[in-house]
A and B are shown apart, each in its own frame.
Chain A
Amino acid sequence: MEELIDQLKQEIIEVLSLEDVVPEDFDADTPLFVEGLGLDSIDALELILLMERKYNIKIEDPKERRNVLRNVRAMAECITSNKN
């Protein structure tokens, strides 16, 4: 799980072009939106695309999307549970 979390942090930085952010700046439980990393709705679309293309996970329900994208740990848990 920790390895996947590190990988996701790196991917989020790359996909969203967070040039001044390094993986050490946020942890697995840091909120991604509004507070914490301060991401917005356009970033959310890019993260949905990341989950679809890289991890083959399609989340249709908006409520579930919000839950999965709340922080890196929730994203990693979603990916792990879909693998099993």
Chain B
Amino acid sequence: MKAYVASSGVISPQQTHDTTGFPEHVCETVTSRLRCLEPDYRTLINPVQLRRMPRILKMGLASAKICLERAGNVKPGAIIVGTGLGCLDNLEKFLLDMLDHDEHITSVLPFINSTHNAVASQIAMVLKNYGYNYTYCHRALSFESALQDALMHIRESPDTSVLVGGIDECTDDYMLLHNYLGYWKQPVSNLDLFRGTGAGSGSGTVAGEGSAFFLLSGIPRNEENVILEAVHTFFMPEAYTDPEGIAAEADHFLTENNTGPADLDLVILGLSGDDHDDSIYRRLRQRYFKGAASFAGFKHLCGEFYTATAFALWLGATAIANQHVPAVALVDSEPKTIINKVLIYNHFKNAEHGMMLLTRAEGSG
């Protein structure tokens, strides 16, 4: 059950939408909330369609189109999206509108565009794609669930291409409500997020958002050199009472894929700057990943959100494709000159845990 990563299209708080490699400049901001750097949508989406689209639909459709264009405008056999919060901004507008007007007639567009599956369906309508269309909403495992579905599709029909993406937006109300729960740090430089010093230390993280789409295929179409080998998810391990639990999950996952920790050239961890959450990564790194070559983080570049691992997948795939990891992503380690195997591991509040294994295709490079 594996798939070639044919192309990607990513809109994130970094300048990722107009490059296939790593952006030359990394955006550093002192903030509690990283916002996406968005393209000029008029160059990607018909202006008539554009006027009715909320921001999240623009982000999703634009990144999907960028991804498909880079793969030579392949017609995908399935469109699968993972989103933790869906079209949250429009949902808020729609519900507030109902409250403000005593549940009488409300504005139509925020209602139409408030559903979680609006992104996947909008992409299908614009592409006139009538194939399988599905949206997974499983909090921080939404993107991983979408990937698992895509891999099952490809196992059934290897010549199918599947467009799979992860997307979430951040809103003012979301920031406010989760601030009460202590989710966010006071404004801090995003690049200091997990350095464990100054404002970057302590509890909380920086919120983020983004949209990342990938075209996956069971057979290489052009010169794809990145393979998504497998995806693994698990829920609420007792990490603090049983510190070996997550290591056992990682070991089981890697063994199933004929890999050991010493085979990994790069481990991308979901370090968020929250001491409590990051202790799980640190413990795993010390106890299980001792033999791995180098370690990287990604949430200081994109922020914390339910589908942040879609950004991590882009980071891992780009590292293999370019045989390079930018220094800004590395965490207390030296880069390796050859990157053949990459593991991405992320958890959200020690509840949803996800792992993805990427390899470099044989004979590539």
List chain A positions with a Cβ less than 8 A from chain B: 16-20, 42, 45-46, 48-49, 52-53
**Contact present for A46 and B51 (CB under 8 Å):** no
Query: Among A19, A20, A46, A52, which residue has its beta carbon within 8 angstroms of that of B109?
Result: A46
How many A-B pairs have beta carbons closer than 8 Å: the answer is 23
Query: Among B51, B105, B112, which residue has its beta carbon within 8 angstroms of that of A17?
Result: B51
> With A and B bound together, what is the CA distance between A42 and B113 in angstroms?
13
> With A and B bound together, what is the CA distance between A20 and B112 in angstroms?
23
Query: Among B47, B50, B107, which residue has its beta carbon within 8 angstroms of that of A46?
Result: B107
**Contact present for B105 and A20 (CB under 8 Å):** no
Size category, B interface: 10 to 19
Q: B177 at the A/B interface (Cβ < 8 Å)?
A: no
Query: Among B101, B105, B106, B109, which residue has its beta carbon within 8 angstroms of that of A42?
Result: B109
Contacts of A42 in B (CB 8 A): 52, 108-109, 112
Residue of A nearest to B50 (CB): A19
Residue of A nearest to B100 (CB): A53
**Contact present for A53 and B101 (CB under 8 Å):** yes
Residue of B nearest to A50 (CB): B107
Query: Among A20, A49, A53, which residue has its beta carbon within 8 angstroms of that of B47?
Result: A20
Return the 3 tightest CB-CB contacts between A and B, nearest first.
A45-B108, A17-B51, A42-B108
Residue of B nearest to A45 (CB): B108
Contacts of B51 in A (CB 8 A): 16-19
Residue of A nearest to B105 (CB): A49
Residue of A nearest to B106 (CB): A49
Q: Smallest CB–CB gap between B223 and chain A, Å?
A: 40
**Contact present for B107 and A17 (CB under 8 Å):** no
Query: Among A18, A20, A46, A52, which residue has its beta carbon within 8 angstroms of that of B108?
Result: A46
Looking at B47, B50, B108, the one whose CB has the most chain A CB atoms below 10 A away is B108
Contacts of A20 in B (CB 8 A): 47
Contacts of B106 in A (CB 8 A): 49
Q: Smallest CB–CB gap between B118 and chain A, Å?
A: 14
Q: Smallest CB–CB gap between A16 and chain B, Å?
A: 7
CB-defined interface of B13-48 with A at 8 Å, one 1/0 digit per residue? 000000000000000000000000000000000010
> With A and B bound together, what is the CA distance between A18 and B52 in angstroms?
9
CB-defined interface of B274-312 with A at 8 Å, one 1/0 digit per residue? 000000000000000000000000000000000000000
> With A and B bound together, what is the CA distance between A51 and B105 in angstroms?
12
What are 6 A-B pairs with beta-carbon distances under 8 A?
A17-B52, A19-B50, A42-B52, A46-B108, A49-B106, A49-B107
> With A and B bound together, what is the CA distance between A19 and B49 in angstroms?
12
Extra 13 A-B pairs, beta carbons < 8 Å, given A17-B51, A19-B51, A49-B108: A16-B51, A19-B47, A42-B108, A42-B109, A42-B112, A45-B108, A46-B107, A46-B108, A48-B105, A49-B105, A49-B106, A49-B107, A52-B105
> With A and B bound together, what is the CA distance between A52 and B47 in angstroms?
28
